[in-house]
A and B are shown apart, each in its own frame.
Chain A
Amino acid sequence: MQEPELHDLSDDADYAASQQHGSASMMRSNSGKHSSSSEHDGAEVIYLKDNVTIHPTQFASERISGRLKLIKQGSSLFMTWIPYKGQNSNARLTERDRNLYTIRAVPLTEVRSIRRHTPALGWQYIIVVLSTGLAFPPLYFYNGGVKEFLATIKQHVFIVRSADDANVFLVNDFQNPLQRTLSSLELPRALSVASGQSTSVSVGETSSDENQERTSGDVYEGSISSSQYNERQRQRVHDPARDLSIQVLEKFSLVTKFARETTSQLFRDNHSNGYGAIERRSNNQSPIDYPQKASSDSNKVPDKSPVPPDSLEFDKVSLVWGKPRQAPLGSDEWKTFLDYEGRIMDSEALRKRIFYGGVEHELRKEVWPFLLGYHAYDSTEAEREYLRAVKKSEFETIKRQWQSISPEQAKRFTKFRERKGLIEKDVVRTDRSLSFYDGDDNPNVNLLRDILLTYSFYNFDLGYCQGMSDLLSPILFVMEDESDTFWCFVSLMERLGPNFNRDQNGMHSQLFAITKLVELLDIPLHNHFTQHDCLNYFFCFRWVLIQFKREFEFDKTMRLWEVLWAHYPSEHLHLYVCVAILKRHRSKIIGEQMDFDTLLKFINELSGHIDLDAVVRDAEALCICAGENGAACIPPGTPPSLPVDDDGLLLYPQQELDDVL
């Protein structure tokens, strides 16, 4: 049982606490041993959640995502967590390593308690502690769903809240010690059919061959650092001051710079001939090559592990200045990108060109549908014309759905009335100073309303949310045609929809990524935000929610958007734009000791005073400097990445199950 630990959970108070329950060793089950047991005949999946992830080390690139399930078989309930196959080609996390963490059909009768964490910012996670006292690594719910998970368990298994801690749910844990003993003795036996022995047996069985094979760098690194931290943690557990800081750390899953440096130092020292060398090689690649890889597949976790750079270097060495901006793409040049049937021959070159210069306004109507993903780059002119016709009639069909609601019907359709009312309130206060939208009874304002209402029927679950009218307005201004505008907007919302989710997950993951990026790229600024309680980054909320729409004049917003939509050099360039703006004002922010309120005010008042070209150049430079380490700061599925496939689960959860327990 006393095998070296793979996990560095140095900042996880609960993990430390869970270790104190019993053995200090982490439980792992061997995937090979129970491969047939997870899905028996008659088994019914009663809960399924994708993108439940473990963080074996503090490196974002080494996270392992998988699918969490609750399976009911007869009267027994099992929990499984299977990592995705082939999704993570991380050099240091082999398939075998990943399988170590696989949870195959653990009966709930073997679970002692489940501790949940639902920080306001950052991911919810749970820690499952088994009757033996062993604990699984924290399972982070990237897509939310902890409440449903607990609610589902509650429907099938006796589960109570701990009197000591409202976030701890006791399973099979009775007040009476005798009962507890009895239940832990008897129940697992009764359920051993489906790998009931997985807990203790697997650890014993696997440890020997694991030890032999454990030569990869992460193991050593993890084992060394985690034992150090565990020692530290034990000393700190009862320190209230520490509890406070732990709450802060927990909230943002922060890994201290110290921890990172220590581990990376150890890593470099111990493995200079091994993976470290590979790593260094990979870091010497042209930085330009890498971001396209990262953006080509939103699900993909960056495949190289980062050597955390010394952030201070960035401040000493002046930034590699982003390339000078070019003139916007004009129609003559545009034609050179098209083949004789109107296909775009080299979409990457086109995106790069647009990134550096944008598009002339007259040409936007033609180019934006590609950037937004409404038209495929390899479609022919004829195919696009056909698609437009088909989509037009589809649009009309959806539009008729709400148009056909009579006033009588609307009286009994509160949801529709409210939604319409909200939209009507917002369109009349969207860009009305623009001549395109000004004046009474402006037909374009009515178009905004019709398109938003149609969208709210097209995507009824997401509905209408404030900010959408800001995103739609420039698209209508460019596209003019109602149906084209609608479908371009639909494409944009495919990517930005999560910004408007009820649980605000899309926003949280982006704000979280900014936190991590600033920590990577500007430690003094990060420290300032830490000290001044600004780590929630809510002062960037408006920037992110509507892609800086309120920060620039209308024409500059259009320019910025096409630059961002080019997804070059990163799909998440907007996050680097945030960092770039903050960095531009860092000396003022730090020098004036701005607290959260002052900072929010300061940021809000930057509106209209941001130099677009300079900020985009900075963002490009920061993105290149950050390289893979930057990409590793951004959780998978963070908008505008396309949402991770949810297997038909609700993309837009209507509401969290409120206090089901």
Chain B
Amino acid sequence: MPNGATFADAYPTQARHIRAAFWASFLSLGVGAFFGLIQALHRTDILRVIESQTYYTVLTAHGVFLVISFTIFFLVGVFQWAVTDSLERPPVDMRFTWGWYGLMSLGASLTAFAILAGFTDSIDVRANVLFTFYAPLQAHPLFYVGLVVFVVGTWLAGADWFRSWLAWKGDNPGERIPLPTFMVLTTMIMWYISSIGVAVAILAFILPWSLELTGSLNPTLTRTLFWYFGHPVVYFWLLPAYLLWYILLPKLAGGRLFSDPLARVVFILFVLLSTPVGIHHQYLDPGISEGFKFIAMTNTMFLLLPSLLTAFTIIASMEHGARQRGGEGYFNWLTALPWRDPAFTGMALAGMVFAFGGFTGIVNAGMNINYLVHNTLWVPGHIHTQVGTAAALTFMAGAYWLVPQLTGNRLVGRGLALVQVVLWFVGIVFMTNSMYRGGLVGIPRRTAEPQYEGFEYEVAAGSVGELNAQLAIGGTILFVSAMLFLALMVLTAFNGGTEPIDDGSIPPALSGPEDSPAVLDNLKLWVAIAAVLVVIAYSFPLASIVSRGGLFGPDIGPIPVAIDAASTVARTALEAVSAVVR
């Protein structure tokens, strides 16, 4: 890319494609955030605009729109930018690139339709199964078909990036993989290994069951396959944020990445360790023995290593920037950082929230204390600090730098953008503080009406009213912040005739790839080791689940049917009683 040229100048077609991915992502953010606001006000009983039964449609939409559509559309855009920019070449065939984008959009639209149709009785389609779609909760087949098409789209996206890399390798034999491309390829390897689990769960069991081709399934098996994918998927959300922290944040701080080799080690550790840990989401599931859960816990604790390595590398890179800007002392250098830059401040705040959320993750990961917070509001607190801030706020902050590069337009409202990222931080502190503390006193999650007659939660400091107020205020601030972000993005897109402040160049690392062993770039080796770890962690639990419950389970019928039957019985009984009373 010539000096001073934006990405949009150098690769206009690719920039258009990435912008399309970003718009799909931002649209999902807008819709998902709106549902989040409804939930925050509903479960605190401040404003109930929907029936409590509809809460689950809202909750499903909030989950799927945000953690599947918003995050993944954004990350494919970031990855396409990273690969194109660092390999300095467009995709081999742009039609293929548009093809996977089309598949992802089609899949997302089908799933979105299946969920949103739940709001009206005039269409006989429902998918109130939440983002985890645990069987025997059953959605309309369109929901699952959409998810499959979407995931296949991401697989093809990965194939596209591998193809670009192979083409580049042919032209540059013996060269180290550029770091951004290395991060994309390793993340996609992790995604391939892990998404096989959800693909098998849907294609072999849940979809045929929802189409009534098979009469039953084994819920423990499909849950286990879901969580085989369900933990690595959090790294699929997080690693693009890591990419932005490693590649962009040092530059924004005025410095250079401290160590390219450490960054490679971190991404390899995620390839190896992300998948053989999923059972830690199932500590309370019957049908999986404690021994397997213990192994999953041990693996999970190893996963702290790459995150702590990241904390070190990123902070050291920021410190390098601060020192170059004249920062001094043990802590005073922090004041030399460019806190007025919304892209920098957003990412730094996201990292800070992530560091705290990491602690709560250790609580979730520990078998004994997990029992105390499992299925409580603590868990949504954790997910909102992690994907809802570490990833989401980093994406928004990253967009303040990336979107000008992708449009060739100057960011509109830099000051407002700073307000936006700070608002998000404040909102998340209020909301998750309430969620964590509520979880500790046992307030359940995934509940429209968490208050019970004749029962009081014993809040050690404060009260349930205070927790509710914090949750509602936090949720509202987050919604306002999301809307402000979207408004600034739309205005920037139309801000023609201007130029970005920054020239889009990324300085090289202080310690470059030449300082690291070449084996780090041996992707085949890491895939092989990761596969062995997965086999060790999962073959026995899966065999045990299948031998106990059977592949297709002990005759489990779908839940929505049971609810319909039960509600019909209840309605008939009520009518009979009221007739007698009258």
Partners in one complex: no
User: What residues of chain B have their CB less than 8 Å away from a CB belonging to chain A?
Assistant: none
